[in-house]
Amino acid sequence: VSIDSNTDLTNCIYTNNYKCVYEAVEYLIKKGHRKIAHIAGALKTFVGSERLRGYKDALHDYGIPFREDYVLKGNEYSYNQGFLRGMDIAKMTDKPTAVICASDDLAIGLMHAFDEVGIKVPDDISVIGFDNNELARFTRPSLTTINQNKEKIAMEAAKILLAKIQNPKRKLVKKVIEGQLIERDSVKSLN
């Protein structure tokens, strides 16, 4: 069973990455944000490309022009990449009012970079992460993030695997698990 990928070669289970990021952009737009950046993870992966697609489509559907300079490539989902991209944003003359990160580690690194240069979250720039990892609620401010239902993913993967063991000729299964936005303190309303 493949987790967080989409292939026709094996059973797959994954979070609806597209919808999660789309809804995060929508949430920011409803809070009055129009200048929304995205720190992407590994764009060559299914997860990274789906999250970027959700970001772009939400902007398009709400009539907000896509800006190439507002997509910063993390190439991985690490704290260090988030910190570096935070420093890149700090140097921008036309800064975004909000940033959606492809992982909580990216978001935490970004927030630390902002703190070092005096950019206040969420007063100056709002931040959303993705994963709802254990550190997200302990950041200052606590990180608004997208929860991946890891327990459900694990349970469903185990069910698929057991069913395949019991019936090796069983058709391949693709299972999509919905995520959920967890509102904390890192997003400011501009309305």
Residue 51 lies in a domain: yes
Residue 35 lies in a domain: yes
Cα–Cα distance for residue pair 172/167, rounded to 1 Å:
11
Residue 140 lies in a domain: yes
The total number of structural domains that make up the chain:
1
What CATH number does the domain containing 23 carry? 3.40.50.2300
Residue 20 lies in a domain: yes
Q: Which residues contact 187 (CB under 8 A, 6 or more apart)?
A: 27, 28, 31, 98, 122, 126, 127, 128, 144
CB atoms within 10 A of CB 6: 15
Residue 189 lies in a domain: no
Residue 187 lies in a domain: no
Residue 46 lies in a domain: yes
Domain extent at residue 8: 2-182
pLDDT in tens, the chain (191 residues): 777 667 667 888 889 999 999 999 999 999 999 999 999 988 888 889 999 999 999 999 999 999 999 999 877 899 999 999 999 999 999 999 999 999 999 999 999 999 999 999 999 999 999 999 999 999 999 999 999 988 898 898 899 899 889 998 888 888 899 999 999 999 999 99
Residue 191 lies in a domain: no
